[in-house]
Amino acid sequence: IYFERYNGIRWQLAKIPKTGGTSEIVLNDLVNYFDFSHDGKLIVYGSVDESTQKRNIVIRSLHDFSLFKTFDIANGSFVKFTPDGKSIIFNTSEVVRDG
């Protein structure tokens, strides 16, 4: 089971076996709003480059968490794979709204 865990400084991606046990951090990245591809091979998430404070969207392999693609797009409040796994859907926080 994958989930976001706050370590007192930032949110990170963690996992725990479905049978219980000890959780472990699987990525050092600051992770927001993640989703998995339907084939179980990729994870997409919003992140922040802590050195530049630039927001982006990242896709990594779930096999070894190697980087697949980074998009220089400010993440908002969600990011999802499309059902066919060929695209992602996201919103941005670039638009200022009242209320």
pLDDT at res. 51: 83
pLDDT at res. 99: 52
Local structure of 65: helix, strand or coil? coil
pLDDT at res. 72: 86
Parts of the chain with a pLDDT under 50: none
Pairing of strands 88-90, 79-81: antiparallel
Query: Residue 44 in contact with residue 59, Cβ under 8 Å?
Result: yes
Percent of the chain with pLDDT over 70: 91
Percent of the chain with pLDDT over 90: 47
